[in-house]
Amino acid sequence: MTRASVRNTRHAAHLDALEHAYADILASHGYDAVLLYSGQAHTFFADDQQASFAPFGHFLHWVPQPGIQHSWLRIRPGDAPLLRFHAPKDFWHLAPEPPTAAWTHRFAIEPTPETGPPATGGGRVALLGEVEPSLARELGAELNPPALLAALDELRLRKSAYEIDRLRDANRLALAGHRAARDAFEAGGAELDIQLAYLAASRQRESDVPYQNIVGLNAHGGVLHYQHYDLEPPARQLSLLVDAGRRDAGYCADITRTWAGRDADPRFAALIEAVTQLQQSLIDAIAPGVAFPDLHRRMHEQLGELLVDQGLVCCSAAAAVERGMTRAFCPHGLGHSLGLQVHDVGGRRDAKGRYLPPPRQDPALRLTRTLETGMVVTVEPGLYGIPMLLEPLRDTSAGRDIAWDAVASLYEHGGIRIEDNVAVTETGADNLTRET
C-alpha cells in the first residue's frame, strides 16, 4: 500500500471509531445531536488586526483541516456528519476552498458564505465551542455542558493509529527544525537566527507553531517559558535550550533539546548527558498500568542520584528529594498528554470524569492518570539553575549540602531539558521522537 492509501485507510478507521463513540456518548448523556463550532480568530481591542488562531480541538478531531474558521460540524447519529464550511466571497483574501480529500466522502458538506450554525434537526442538542450564550439560547441548545465535554475529552486521550501517525510525522518535521537550530547555534547565531533556522527547516510560519518556541541561550535556558528572541548573540556561548514543535493535521510535536556551547563549562556537557540518560531510563519504564505520578516521583529519585553523582549536592539522593532540593532544581512535571493541543485534554481526570489532583508537592504535574495503551505523553525531565528557587535554600540546612560554585556555573548556563514524545503500546513504549 502507498503512504497515501495507508493514511486514508487509517483515517477512515479513526472516523468509524469516532462515529461509534459519539453515538454512545450522546445516547448515554441523553442528547440527539451535537454542534461543534470551529471558532474564529480574535481581533485586538480597538484594532482591525487579528491574533493567530487554532480551531477547537473537538472540531479538529473530526476535520483534519487546521486554520478552518467560522465553520460548523453537526453530529447526529444515524446521519452523515454535516460540515457547514465557511466559504466567503472575498477579494481581499484567498477564499478557502471546501475540502475534497478522501475523508470528505462520508461527510455532507455545505459550503456557505454565512457564519451561522446549521439547523439542529430538533431534539435535545448540545452546542460546543466558543460562542455567545444567546446563540445557544436561540437554537434551544445547551452550551458546553461540562459532563458531555469531559466525556469527549476522555475520547481524545487514547489515540487511534491514524493519530499516532500524525504525531510521528509532526515529530519528523520538528526534528529537522531542531537539527537546523543546533547548526545555527554552532555557527554563532543569536536567538532570533536560531528561531528562524528552526522555522525554515521545519517548514512552518511562526503563527502556525503549536506553542511559542522557546529558544534560550545561556541563562535564558533557565527561564522555563522564556518568550523572547534576542537579536544579538551573547559574548560567551555557553548553552542553548530549544523547546519547539510542529503540527501535522493539527497534531502537535513538543520536543526539547539542550546543547553545550564552545565556551561551556565541561561539567555542563556531562550534565546534559546525565539528564539524557535519566530521560531514556524513564521512557523505558513506560507501559500500560504505570501511574504517571509514580513515574514523576521516580524522576525525582533519579534526579537526587544525578545531583550526588555530578557533585551538585553532598547529601544522600534520598535526602535531596526529601528536603525539596530536587524540586528546586526541577519545578515542573515529568510530562503531559499530547495530541490536538500541546497540553492535551483529560490529563487530570479519571475515566469517569472525576478530578484527579496533582500531588501536593507537585502542583505543576499535568498528567495524574495511569497510562493506557494509545495514550501519547511527553517525557521531559529538567535540571535548571533558577536563582529564585535555589537562593532561598542558601541559609538552610539543605543549603549547607549544596555545591554553590557548581550552582553558580549552572546559573550562567541556564538549564537542561530533554523532551521526547512517547506512545504507550500494549507492551511498553514507542518513542516517536527518536526513530529517524
> Does residue 254 touch ligand GLY according to CB under 6 A?
yes
User: For the chain, how far is it from start to end, CA to CA, in angstroms?
Assistant: 21
Q: Which is nearer to ligand GLY, 40 or 256 (CB)?
A: 256
- Count, residues near ligand GLY per rule CB under 6 A: 7
List residues near Mn ion by CB under 5 A.
Answer: 243, 254, 256, 378, 419
Which one, 163 or 243, has the nearer CB to ligand GLY?
243
The answer to whether residue 211 forms part of the interface with ligand GLY (CB under 6 A) is yes
Residue 103 or residue 198: which is nearer to ligand GLY going by CB? 198
**C-alpha cell belonging to residue 50:** 487579528
Residue pointed to by grid coordinates 537550530: 181
Closer CB to ligand GLY, 126 or 345, in the complex: 345
Is-contact 369 352, C-beta < 8 A?
no
Q: Could you say whether residue 243 binds ligand GLY (CB under 6 A)?
A: yes
Minimum distance from residue 336 beta carbon to ligand GLY (Å)? 6
Least distance between ligand GLY and beta carbon 299 (Å): 14
Could you please report the per-residue DSSP string of 79-136? SPPEEEEE----SSSPPPPPP-SGGGGGSEEEEES--SPPP--SSSEEEESS--HHHH
Q: CB 331 → ligand GLY: shortest distance, Å?
A: 13
**Which does residue 84 bind out of Mn ion, ligand GLY, none, counting CB within 5 to 8 angstroms by kind?**
none
Report the distance separating Cα 135 and Cα 138, nearest Å: 5
248 touches, from Mn ion, ligand GLY, none (C-beta below 5 to 8 Å by class): none
Residue 421 DSSP SS3? strand
Contacted entry of Mn ion, ligand GLY, none for residue 211, CB cut-off 5 to 8 Å set by kind: ligand GLY
Q: Give the residue numbers of the binding site.
A: 243, 254, 336, 380, 419
For residue 77, which of 125, 37, 128 has the smallest C-alpha distance?
125
163 binds, among Mn ion, ligand GLY, none (CB under 5 to 8 A by kind): none
Q: Phi/psi zone of residue 251: left (φ > 0), alpha (ψ -120 to 50 degrees), beta?
A: beta
Give phi and psi for 164, each to the nearest 5: -65, -35
Min dist. Cβ of residue 51 to ligand GLY (A): 19
182 three-state secondary structure: helix
DSSP state of 402: B
Asked if 380 is part of the footprint of ligand GLY (rule: CB under 6 A), the reply reads: yes
Cβ 107 to ligand GLY shortest distance, Å: 33
- Upper half-sphere CA count for residue 334 (Cβ side, 13 Å): 30
Interface positions with ligand GLY (CB under 6 A): 211, 243, 254, 336, 342, 380, 419
